[in-house]
Amino acid sequence: MLTGVALENLSVSFNGIRVLHGIDLVIGQGETLGLVGESGSGKSVTWLAALGLLPSKARVSGRVLVNGQNLLDLPESKLAKIRGRRIAMIFQDPASALNPMLTVKRQIGETLALHRGLSGAAIKAEAKRLLDLVGIPDAERRLNAYPHEFSGGQNQRVMIAMALAGQPDLLVADEPTTALDVTIQAQILDLLALTQRETGMALVLISHDLGVVSQVCDRVAVMYAGRIVEEASVESLFDHPAHPYSRGLIGSLPVIDGPRQRLSAIGGTVPDPGKLPAGCSFAPRCAFAEARCRENIPRLAGIGRDHNVACLVSEAQPAAAIRPSLQKKHRIEA
Amino acid sequence: MTAPLLSAQDIARSYELNRTVWGGASIVHAVSGVTLSVGRNETLGIVGESGSGKSTAGRLLLGLEPPTRGSVLFDGKPLPSIGSPEWKRSRTRMQMIYQDPLAALDRRLPISRQMREPLDIHRIGSPQDRDARVSELLHSVGLSDEIGRRYPHELSGGQRQRVVLARALVTRPNLLVCDEPVSALDVSIQAQVVNLLSDLQAELGLAMVFISHDLRVVRQISHRIAVMYLGRIVEEGDADDLFARPVHPYTRALVSAAPIPGKKLTGRIMLQGEPPNPANQPSGCAFHPRCPVAVARCRSEMPTLSDLGGGRQVSCHLAGSSPSVKAELPSTRQAALPNSIATVSEGTV
C-alpha cells in the first residue's frame, strides 16, 4: 500500500513555454482531492505529467514521489508497472478512451493480465465482478459487448471498472462526468464516492465545476494559469473563499434554490501561457488587484487551519468580510 | 392578456428508422403532443435528458422542420412552409443558437464578414448601415471592432459564443431559440454568457426558448420552465416555484441530482437506470420504469397534463388525484423529500 503521493515543484514546459509553474500537492491514503480551474489552468497537464503521459516534446521537472520513488526518474518499463496499477486515470470522453474494436472483457482483461497476472477463467470472473461493482446490469452477458453497445454513462462505468481492475491506490478522474446527462452525472459521482469508500483508494477529481467537486471531495485545490492559488477543505473554501479567483468561481455557479441573483462572472479569460502578465497571473481579471499585484508573484501561504492561498491582497484582509450573500445562502440551506 | 408571440398546439414529430424492403419501419416519436407558448419579453426554459425531445421541440418551434401533427403559430399566423419565400423572410425574425460555437461559425470568414451575412442575404440597409450594425452588436456583446477582423480560431470559446449570439441578433429577431448554448463552456465563461443572454433578452424584449439539461442554468435565465421526458412535457410552471416545489417524480429526481455547491452527495433521490430509448417507449406513463412511486395504473394508462393552479401543470396520476400533494411538499427540498414521496404514494394507493 502506498502511503501517499506527493508532487513537489512539478513544472512543465512545451517548446520553451512554461505551462506549469511548480505544483506542490500531497494526497494521503484514502483521501479525496478536487482539482478545479478553467480550461488552460493546467489541472489535466499536472496529472498527465506526473504519470509520464505527455508527448516527448514536453519538458517536465520536479518530483513525483510514490513510495519514496520519483516517477520522473523511472524508466518507462518500471513506470508502466505503477501506471494502471498503483495510479489509474480516467478521462472525460469514455467513447474515445475505449477501443471500439475490442469487447469490454478483452479491455478489462488486459489490465487484469498485465497488472494482476490473471488468465483464462479468472479474468472472466474478475471482469464480471468489476462490471457488477460499477453497476452494469446483466454483467455476465454484457462482458462480450462492444463499447458502441453501451450508453455514454455505461461506457464511463466500464472505464471506471478498467481503472479499478489494477486495484489502484489512487484514481485520477479527469472531468469524468462533463459529457454526461445530469441524472447520469449524479450516478457516476455516486459510484466514484462509493468505490472510493469501499476500496479505500485515494481519489483526485479534476473538474471545472466547483459544484461537482464539492459533492465528492474533502479537500480542493484551485488552479489558475499553471499554479495552485488556493487549497482548503471544501467547507472552508465555500464558507471563506480567500482568493478572488475562487470567489469568482463560486459566484459563477447558478443555484437551484433560494432567490435568484445575478451571477458574478469573472471577466476576461485565462491568459495564454506564452504571454503571462508580470506579477500575479490573475491580476488583469481581478477586481481587487493593487499595484504590487502587478509586480510580485504571490506564494502559497497558510491563512488558517489547512487553508493556503496565494494572494497578496487577501493576506492583508482576512476572509471574514467576503461575500456575505453566499454565507447567508448557506445558512438557509443548513 | 395579449396573444403569445409563439404558440404550439399539440405538436408531434416522428421519424422512421430502418425501413426494410418489405415496408416495415420502426417509428421514433421524438416529440408527441407538446403544447407550448412563449410571450414577448419572456424566456421559456426546456429541460430534459438526452433523448427527451427538447432539441427537436426547439427545431419545430423555429419552423426548421415541419411537425407531423399539430401546428405552430408565430405572431398569430401559422409558420410558412419550409423553403418558401415567406419562410425565408421569416428567418430574420427568429434565430437559433447552438451548443458548439466553432461548428456554427465559418472558419474561413472573418468575424465581421459572417456577422454581416444575414444582412446581406436579406438586403437590409445600405452597406454602411450593415457595417455600423455589426459594430454596434459586437459592442453590445462586449467585444471590440478588433475582434471583428479576426477569424473564429483566434477567439476563445466564450468570445465565439458571444459572436454567435451577436450574429443571431443582427437582423433584430423577435424570437431566439438557444439549444444548450453554454454547455460546452467553462463555468466562469458560462456565467458571462448567461448574464449576457438575460440582459439582452430583457433589453430587446425578446421571446426566448432556452434548452438545456442543466437545471441550475435554466432556472437562472428562465421565467417559465417545461420539463420534458420522452417527447412529452411532464411538468411546467414558474421557474422559481417549479424547482422549489417539484411535483412530478421526474422533476423531483432532476432537482435532487443537481449539484449544490459545498454539499456532499447524501440523502438524494438517485434516479436509477438510463434515459429510455425513444424508439422503444414503455406503456402507460413513460417514466414508470424509473419512477420510485409508480403504481399499477402508471403501467397501463398514460397520464395527461392537468392544471394544478398557479400556472403549474403536471402529468402524473399521483399528483392529479391528490390535490393536497402540492401543499404537503416542503418548501425546502432538503431532507424531507423521501417522506413527501411516501406521502404521495400513501395518499393514492
DSSP for A36-78, written as a single string: E--TTSSHHHHHHHHTT-S-TTEEEEEEEEETTEEGGGS-HHH
Say if A182 is an interface residue toward chain B (CB within 8 Å).
yes
- Residue the block writes with cell 414577448: B40
Say if B267 is an interface residue toward chain A (CB within 8 Å).
no
For residues A172 and A204, the answer to whether their CB atoms sit within 8 Å is: yes
User: Of all residues in chain B, what percent carry a pLDDT higher than 70?
Assistant: 90
Q: Is the pLDDT of residue B182 over 60?
A: yes
Q: Look at residue A304 in the predicted model and tell me its pLDDT.
A: 83
> Which three cell numbers mark B273?
437506470
Residue B267 confidence class, pLDDT cut points 50, 70, 90: low
Answer whether B262 sits within 8 Å of A238, measured CB to CB: yes
Residue B249 confidence class, pLDDT cut points 50, 70, 90: very high
- Residue the block writes with cell 479527469: A174
Residue B159 C-alpha, separation from nearest chain A C-alpha, in angstroms = 9
Residue B77 C-alpha, separation from nearest chain A C-alpha, in angstroms = 35
List the beta bridge partners of residue B40.
Answer: none
The residue-averaged pLDDT of A166-193 equals: 88
Say if B257 is an interface residue toward chain A (CB within 8 Å).
yes
Which chain A residues touch B264 with a CB distance below 8 Å?
Answer: 214-216, 234
Backbone φ and ψ of B157, nearest 5°: -55, -40
Mutate to test the interface with B, among A156, A181, A323 (most CBs of B within 10 A): A181
Say if A184 is an interface residue toward chain B (CB within 8 Å).
yes
Residue B97 C-alpha, separation from nearest chain A C-alpha, in angstroms = 19
Q: Look at residue B330 in the predicted model and tell me its pLDDT.
A: 40
The residue-averaged pLDDT of B242-270 equals: 84
Q: What angle do CA B277, B283, B289 make, to 5 degrees?
A: 65
For residues B231 and B52, the answer to whether their CB atoms sit within 8 Å is: yes
Say if A235 is an interface residue toward chain B (CB within 8 Å).
yes
The residue-averaged pLDDT of B156-174 equals: 91
Say if B158 is an interface residue toward chain A (CB within 8 Å).
yes
Say if A257 is an interface residue toward chain B (CB within 8 Å).
yes
Q: Look at residue B321 in the predicted model and tell me its pLDDT.
A: 52
Closest CA to B161 of B189, B128, B132: B189
Distances (CA, A) of B180 to A218, A294, B120, B199, B215: 31, 38, 28, 18, 11
Which chain B residues touch A263 with a CB distance below 8 Å?
Answer: 191, 194-195, 220
A267 → chain B, closest CA residue: B192
The closest CB to that of B188, out of A186, A216, A248, belongs to A248
Q: Look at residue A122 in the predicted model and tell me its pLDDT.
A: 94
> Which three cell numbers mark A33?
482531492
User: Could you say which DSSP state residue B170 is in?
Assistant: T
Say if A181 is an interface residue toward chain B (CB within 8 Å).
yes
Answer whether B259 sits within 8 Å of A266, measured CB to CB: no
Answer whether B259 sits within 8 Å of A269, measured CB to CB: no
Virtual torsion, Cα B196, A259, A329, B190, nearest 10 deg: -20
B198 vs A270, which has greater pLDDT?
B198
Helix, coil or strand: residue B257:
helix
Say if A253 is an interface residue toward chain B (CB within 8 Å).
yes
A183 → chain B, closest CA residue: B257
Q: Is the pLDDT of residue A309 over 70?
A: yes
Residue B337 CB-density burial (10 A; 0-12 exposed, 13-18 middle, 19+ buried): buried
- H-helix segments, chain B: 54-61, 85-90, 101-104, 111-121, 127-140, 145-148, 157-169, 187-204, 215-221, 239-244, 249-257, 296-300, 317-321, 324-328, 337-348
Residue A322 confidence class, pLDDT cut points 50, 70, 90: very low
Answer whether B191 sits within 8 Å of A263, measured CB to CB: yes
Say if A262 is an interface residue toward chain B (CB within 8 Å).
yes
A250 → chain B, closest CA residue: B261
Which chain B residues touch A262 with a CB distance below 8 Å?
Answer: 195, 198
User: Between residues 142 and 171 of chain A, which touch chain B (CB distance below 8 Å)?
Assistant: 151-154
B67 vs B334, which has greater pLDDT?
B67
For chain A, domains (ranges, CATH) are 4-217 (3.40.50.300), 242-333 (no CATH)
The residue-averaged pLDDT of A58-83 equals: 92
**Which of A292-296, B30-34, B114-118, B326-330 is least confident?**
B326-330
Q: Where in chain B is the domain with CATH 3.40.50.300?
A: 6-19+26-227
For residues A313 and A289, the answer to whether their CB atoms sit within 8 Å is: yes
Residue B31 C-alpha, separation from nearest chain A C-alpha, in angstroms = 19
Average pLDDT, chain B: 86
Q: Look at residue B7 in the predicted model and tell me its pLDDT.
A: 94
Q: Look at residue B244 in the predicted model and tell me its pLDDT.
A: 92
Answer whether A235 sits within 8 Å of B186, measured CB to CB: no
User: Could you say which DSSP state residue B93 is in?
Assistant: G
Distances (CA, A) of A149 to A95, A108, A129, A140, A187: 11, 16, 19, 15, 19
Amino acid at A318: P
- How many interchain CB pairs under 8 A, A with B? 142
Q: Is the pLDDT of residue A329 over 90?
A: no
Closest CA to A170 of A64, A11, A73: A64
The closest CB to that of A254, out of B217, B265, B274, belongs to B217
Q: How many Cα atoms within 13 Å fall on the side-chain side of residue B333?
A: 26
Q: Look at residue A294 in the predicted model and tell me its pLDDT.
A: 93
For B6-19+26-227, give the CATH class.
Answer: alpha beta
Say if A280 is an interface residue toward chain B (CB within 8 Å).
no
Say if B195 is an interface residue toward chain A (CB within 8 Å).
yes
**Which of A231-235, B19-23, B144-148, B343-347 is least confident?**
B343-347
Q: Look at residue A315 in the predicted model and tell me its pLDDT.
A: 64
Residue B80 C-alpha, separation from nearest chain A C-alpha, in angstroms = 35
B273 → chain A, closest CA residue: A184
User: Could you say which DSSP state residue A164 is in?
Assistant: H
- Please state the three-class secondary structure of B206-223 as a single string: CEEEEEECCHHHHHHHCC
Q: Look at residue B51 in the predicted model and tell me its pLDDT.
A: 82
Say if A62 is an interface residue toward chain B (CB within 8 Å).
no
A175 vs B2, which has greater pLDDT?
A175
Residue B48 C-alpha, separation from nearest chain A C-alpha, in angstroms = 9
Answer whether B274 sits within 8 Å of A253, measured CB to CB: no
ipTM of this model?
Answer: 0.78
Answer whether A254 sits within 8 Å of B255, measured CB to CB: no
List the beta bridge partners of residue A66.
Answer: A5, A69
User: Between residues 2 and 31 of chain B, which touch chain A (CB distance below 8 Å)?
Assistant: none
Answer whether B265 sits within 8 Å of A330, measured CB to CB: no
Q: Is the pLDDT of residue A255 over 90?
A: no
The residue-averaged pLDDT of B139-166 equals: 90
Q: Please tell me the distance from the alpha carbon of residue A68 to that of residue A296, in angstroms, as a whole number.
A: 34
Q: Look at residue B324 in the predicted model and tell me its pLDDT.
A: 40
Q: Is the pLDDT of residue A319 over 50?
A: no
Q: Is the pLDDT of residue A67 over 50?
A: yes
Average pLDDT, chain A: 88
Residue B114 C-alpha, separation from nearest chain A C-alpha, in angstroms = 23
Distances (CA, A) of A34 to A91, A237, B166: 15, 12, 36
Could you read off the pLDDT of B82-118 as tens digits, one per residue?
A: 999 999 999 999 999 988 888 899 999 999 999 999 9
Q: Please tell me the distance from the alpha carbon of residue B233 to that of residue B54, in angstroms, as a whole number.
A: 9
Q: Please tell me the distance from the alpha carbon of residue B83 to that of residue B110, in angstroms, as a whole number.
A: 28
Which chain B residues touch A194 with a CB distance below 8 Å?
Answer: none
Backbone angle region of B172, left / alpha / beta, with phi > 0 → left and psi within -120 to 50 → alpha: left
Backbone angle region of B306, left / alpha / beta, with phi > 0 → left and psi within -120 to 50 → alpha: beta
> Which three cell numbers mark B60?
419545430
Could you read off the pLDDT of A12-38 as tens digits, one per residue?
A: 999 999 999 999 999 999 999 999 998
Q: Please tell me the distance from the alpha carbon of residue B112 to that of residue B147, in angstroms, as a whole number.
A: 8
Q: Is the pLDDT of residue A241 over 60?
A: yes
Say if B292 is an interface residue toward chain A (CB within 8 Å).
no
Helix, coil or strand: residue A307:
strand
The closest CB to that of B271, out of A38, A183, A208, belongs to A183
Q: Please tell me the distance from the alpha carbon of residue A238 to that of residue A15, in angstroms, as a whole number.
A: 37
Q: Is the pLDDT of residue B275 over 80?
A: no
